[in-house]
Structure 1
Amino acid sequence: MKLCKKKLVLATAVVLQQWAMTPATAQQTTQQLAALNRPLDEITVTATRGVDSDLNRVAATVSVITAEELEQQNAKDIKDALRYEPGVEVRRSVYRVGGVTGASATMGRGGNEGINIRGLEGNRVMLLEDGVALPRAFSQGTLSAGRGAYTDTDLYQRIEILRGPASSMYGSDGLTGVVNFVTKDPQDLLNVFGKSSYFALRPSYDSSDSSYGATGTMAFGNDHVQGMLVLNARHGNETETNGSVGGTGAARTKADPLTYNNRSALGKLVFKIDPRNVFKLSFETVENKLRGDSLSAVAAPTITGYQSASDVKSNKLQLQYEHDDTDNPVFQKLRANLYYRDSKTSQYSFENGAAPTRPRFRDISYQDDIFGGGVLAESGFNTGIIKHKLTYGVDLSVAKLQMAASGTGWTTCTGTQYCEYFPKTEYSVFGAYLQDDMRIGALSIVPGLRYDSYKIKPEASAKYDAQAIANRQPASTSKDSAFSPRLAFIYEVAPAFAPYIQYARGFRSPSPHEVNSYFNNASQGYSQIANPNLKPETSNSYEIGFRGKLPTSAGLFSYSTAAYAGEYRNFIDSVSVAGAGTVLNPTIFQYVNAAKASIHGFEGRLDWRMERGLSLKTGFAYTKGTTTDRTGKKTGLESVAPLSVVAGVRYEPTQVWFVQSDVIYNASKKKEDIATPTNFVSPSFFVMDLSSGYRFSKNAVLYAGIRNLFDRKYWNWTDIRGLSLADSATNKDAYTEPGRSFNVSMKFEY
């Protein structure tokens, strides 16, 4: 149940005042409380482009998670934040790394690697923070740079999730959805008590990884100038598995020991020139450090120890201009954005053991710096009986991407070494878009079109060239362009029934390392070569659905359901293009447009907000996907999660306290839906969570919860897929999700 902060404070004040009231006054106050407890019409505030605040008139599935909900869930990261969003998964493998080469070298290093929507993930889902794209995912050798490490849920006012293709408004990466993380704003905080200052401290603890942290927030301001500072720190250990076997070696099922330290800060200044014009200047820094001891990798005397470390840093400076003027005949809304962000992931591995190959180390880093900006405008006007709402704008960005590697035996960057897996590259993107929401009574027709062009331009690199040119694989420039059209129809028969249908085309441009990547390990029988002829990935997607809101004597019902299908072409993957895997005839790998995919599914949501503080929320998502390689072989798309159902019931008789129970059900993954049927697949599971909150006063509130109440042992398919783990493996418990865990936080605000 979403209530504005003002009503929350009023409700709390009403309860406190009752203690000192006469019976007549108390009866009047009780009536005020009853009015507050009536189901309120939901108002969604969203910064997602082209999405109306009235979700009945949107041809897509949109959900918003507010800062209040994040606090009530004690969500310490994006995996916690999206736990109850069916069809939206956050991939996080168990941290169980081992060896400086091979698949296990990156196991869990990506942390919260990214967000999966409708079966696709990584760089195929657009992830934004205040409209700025998060750094791209990258994995090679012992390095795995995920995208979730650049986020911090304590900095966000809300998280907006748009399911479905979004390239017509956002460009590359918007194949199956957009997630926009919107940071807190001084006005949000000053509105809590309606004062010129605001201070808050929120300590928290989570037993799943024995982590503790604290968030400090302050804001100040008046009608013209406002400021804000948010500081957050968290220290924790390994996320527990449900395994019980300790010791060393592959048989270990307890989590390998590790420690992590996360730090973040967000500062923001707001200058309100007048009621129509606002400037916002913000600075954000995030740093996540991790140190691990891989006891599961020990195999004496060959390997007697394996330690690893990871350091993720990101700094962002952003200037925003907002203009709102409903009386302006040309445009009523204007947003301008200028930003710079630098980000770097560094990962170190040290392996001790028997000579001559050990001890050895690898030190690899990946850097993604970007400078860019954009302008968005909205214009409303009428042509006869047609009401138009134009959304249009341009985006421009220039990124610098590079990686570096060093390690035992890597001194000359030739032969079997790859000091640079790809050269330092300038990646520039330009996009222009236009969408017209045309309304004729109950009918909305929404055509949209975006044009994107990109250029991947490598810079001269002595280290990369020492490898690539000698093997006739010099770095190449790659450029291309794409049009992404969209057409949607919505007809609001009544508020209780609004069907829609839409078509959208999406695309994803290749990454610099996919175009220009080279290393030569012929002594081990393989090498990687570049491909300057890569084409963008494309998709054609269709969606049909309906939604509605129905006030009844039993409360307010709101629901939505959708069926979708997408055809994806030119999927980019690294495949074997030649060779036999021998020293004299090594296998040659290359990124090519190797496959196509087909995805279809159903999803639905139902919210029932009843009288007297009782509410019910439920949702489901079912997706099926197949992929076809260049030989015509068709297999199940492993990145597609099985059927997911989430349901929650909440009792909140007053705004002083609440109790909530959520259940999650995931069906089992089928053998025929994976590439290697002999691999282990996760069985179905059912878990229940409890959460509660109690407001002691307007200045103090306590939130506590229990996850996996019945201590179930289960595996999440999104986290374990791709493992070479047989059904008969005795160490399967090493990859389980945490058992029963507790979380608690206390917020003091003034």
Structure 2
Amino acid sequence: MSISTLAGQRAGVAVLVSSALPMAMFAIASAQEPEFADATAPFDEIVVVASKQPRSIRDVAANVTVVERAAMDAILAVSTDDIFRFVPGIDGEQSGTRFGSESINIRGIGGNRVAVLVDGVPLSDQFDVGSFSNATRDFLSTGMVQRIEVLHGPASALYGSSAIGGVIATTTPDPGDLAGRDGTGGNWQTVWRDADNGLNNTVLLAHENNGGVGVLFGGSFYEGDEMPSAAADEALDFRSARRRSALAKFVYQTTRGSQLRFSALHQDSSVQSDLNSMLGTGRYRSTTALLGDDDYRMQLVNGAWQFGAPESLVEDGVLRAYLQTSSVRQQTLDERAAARRPVSIDRYFQFDQDTRGIELNLHRSIDTGVVAQRLSVGLEYRERLTEEYRDGLETDLASGAMTNNLLGEVFPLRDFPKSRSQEWGAFVQDALDFGDFSVVAALRADRYRMRPR
């Protein structure tokens, strides 16, 4: 199902300015009196996430939520939390003012137990240690999202152990989604939200010719501040965030009905924070300043070949190869001028993960007259190189003496060694339709190997 009735949003004002060739739209919406169209998913809506092949949602046994571009525009979505705010069973996991949203929770399970995909490519892992280091999942800018499918509940047979909690499959726009009658089109969108003074600008340009060749280029820029606190009249924590995204996509429709697509995605963001709400309480009772400077970067290159024909040995198949890199850099200044021995503590955290992989999925339908079968077979290989590093330095504000021994930890250090992991996976699924009822049986075999470097 898609987002249907939306109500109860917190007080605030958002402005959406969107222009598409040849149409233009301007809208102002108040969250106190929201008006949204009913976007309930029709029974013949096609979804992919449930079986890794296009299927009508009425033929899918799993609970699947679909959020289309129009629904995101209707709720003036600026962040991932905005998209899922009114979707039952899906919540954003927050990690305070500094780190913000770190993951998505589906039915009580979140973190790395929910598989997050962008055009079929898995995003990097989330990792945190202590109170000053958190490599969150830097989700794709909402302006670059065309469609999101969410599979609620376990999906390990098709997606591996990282999908015990579910799957969030995000799709970026294709040239055909924007190209007009003359083969050229585009979209410009500006969304402003007063709650955090957030401004999100997105520009997409596309061209598609009669020969089946399409190209798309897009860019998005976001900047905003902290969200207001419901418990205080004035903000105690301050946050300044910026995010830049760029997308390039090439699609070629062959004369035999297969399709080749290549895409490159870049996203980087920076967050500066000044946290005051915790000062003078608990473990921060002697802390007089707590500043953060965080940088996130992600690159993704993806190539896919979709092939197959009705009544052939392979009716629908996809071969995908991808490379994704992500890096996190976080610096923290912890000044304790009110302590018995006034000190200033500088902390540094680094987390890098490079992922490359290839997967092959094949599907075929078999109808014996008594039972209709949909047979799926898949092979996957994924390799990840993960590196983590922390450093720290304490400076005595009175004498200027410095030490790298903080609370019994001697810096620099690694919480785990540089690691290279390899994953092999194979699955087979057979969906049997007897008319009055259906049986879906699946078997998966995985092999995992990790080597420290």
8 Å CA contact 1:150–1:314 kept in 2: the answer is no
Residue 265 (structure 1) aligned with residue 265 (structure 2): no
Residue 215 (structure 1) aligned with residue 198 (structure 2): no
Q: 1:41 to 1:424 in 2, by over 3 A?
A: closer
What do the CA deviations read for 1:385-422 (whole angstroms, capped 9, x no partner)? 2222111111110000011112203399x963352111
Distance 1:40 1:395 in 2: 31
Helix, strand or coil: the match of 1:359?
strand
Letter paired with 2:303: L
Report the CA distance between 1:302 and its aligned residue: 4.1
Helix, strand or coil: the match of 2:404?
coil
Distance 1:445 1:327 in 2: 23
8 Å CA contact 2:323–2:355 kept in 1: the answer is yes
1:321 aligns to what? 305
Report the CA distance between 1:129 and its aligned residue: 1.4
1:410 to 404, 409, 423: 404
Q: Structure 1 stretch 117-126 or stretch 42-51: which is displaced more? A: 42-51
8 Å CA contact 2:288–2:335 kept in 1: the answer is yes
1:178 to 134, 152, 167: 167
1:379 aligns to what? 364
Helix, strand or coil: the match of 1:188?
helix
Q: 1:167 to 1:194 in 2, by over 3 A?
A: same
Helix, strand or coil: the match of 2:58?
helix
1:348 aligns to what? 331
Letter paired with 1:321: W
Residue 244 (structure 1) aligned with residue 232 (structure 2): yes
8 Å CA contact 1:259–1:291 kept in 2: the answer is yes
Letter paired with 1:236: G
1:311 to 274, 295, 302: 295
2:35 aligns to what? none
Unaligned residue ranges in structure 1 (runs of 5+): 3-11, 14-36, 96-107, 247-253, 460-750
Report the CA distance between 1:245 and its aligned residue: 5.0
Letter paired with 2:319: A
1:123 aligns to what? 112
Distance 2:139 2:80 in 1: 10
Q: 1:166 to 1:189 in 2, by over 3 A?
A: same
Q: 1:237 to 1:441 in 2, by over 3 A?
A: same
Q: 1:122-521 residue pairs with structure 2 within 5 A?
A: 122-141=111-130, 142-147=132-137, 149-190=138-179, 193-223=180-210, 224-246=212-234, 254-299=235-280, 302-328=286-312, 330-354=313-337, 356=341, 358-408=343-393, 409-410=403-404, 416-417=410-411, 419-459=413-453
8 Å CA contact 1:297–1:305 kept in 2: the answer is no
Report the CA distance between 1:170 and its aligned residue: 0.6
Helix, strand or coil: the match of 1:79?
helix
Letter paired with 1:54: S
Distance 1:208 1:71 in 2: 17
Distance 2:278 2:182 in 1: 56
Distance 1:422 1:276 in 2: 48
What do the CA deviations read for 1:52-99 (whole angstroms, capped 9, x no partner)? 63323222111100011111111111100001111111112431xxxx
1:529 aligns to what? none
Distance 1:359 1:314 in 2: 32
Unaligned residue ranges in structure 2 (runs of 5+): 3-21, 24-37, 394-402
Letter paired with 1:91: E
- Whose RCO is larger (CA < 8 A, sep 6+)? 1
Helix, strand or coil: the match of 2:254?
strand
8 Å CA contact 2:90–2:106 kept in 1: the answer is yes
8 Å CA contact 1:44–1:64 kept in 2: the answer is no
8 Å CA contact 2:43–2:58 kept in 1: the answer is no
8 Å CA contact 1:212–1:234 kept in 2: the answer is yes
Letter paired with 2:68: T
- Greater fraction helix: 1
Helix, strand or coil: the match of 2:215?
strand
Distance 1:347 1:277 in 2: 44
Distance 1:199 1:449 in 2: 44
Distance 1:458 1:373 in 2: 23
8 Å CA contact 2:275–2:290 kept in 1: the answer is yes
Distance 2:333 2:147 in 1: 40
TM-score (norm 2): 0.83
Q: 1:360 to 1:325 in 2, by over 3 A?
A: same
TM-score (norm 1): 0.51
1:54 aligns to what? 56
Helix, strand or coil: the match of 2:64?
strand
Letter paired with 1:47: V
1:92 aligns to what? 94
Distance 2:326 2:67 in 1: 26
Letter paired with 2:51: G
Letter paired with 1:244: A
Bigger radius of gyration among the two = 1
Residue 45 (structure 1) aligned with residue 34 (structure 2): no
Letter paired with 1:271: Y
Distance 2:433 2:285 in 1: 73
Distance 1:304 1:55 in 2: 55
Report the CA distance between 1:384 and its aligned residue: 4.8
Letter paired with 2:44: I
Q: 1:511-550 residue pairs with structure 2 within 5 A?
A: none
Distance 1:122 1:53 in 2: 28
What do the CA deviations read for 1:282-306 (whole angstroms, capped 9, x no partner)? 0001111100112234449943322
1:499 aligns to what? none
Helix, strand or coil: the match of 2:272?
strand
Report the CA distance between 1:232 and its aligned residue: 0.4
Distance 2:443 2:258 in 1: 29
Distance 2:175 2:44 in 1: 21
Distance 1:158 1:371 in 2: 24
Distance 1:194 1:242 in 2: 49
8 Å CA contact 1:240–1:255 kept in 2: the answer is no
Letter paired with 1:407: G
Segments of 4+ moved more than 6 angstroms: none
8 Å CA contact 2:44–2:58 kept in 1: the answer is no
Distance 1:44 1:112 in 2: 30
Q: 1:382 to 1:220 in 2, by over 3 A?
A: same
8 Å CA contact 2:115–2:166 kept in 1: the answer is yes
Distance 1:86 1:441 in 2: 30
Letter paired with 1:170: Y
Report the CA distance between 1:443 and its aligned residue: 2.9
Letter paired with 1:168: A
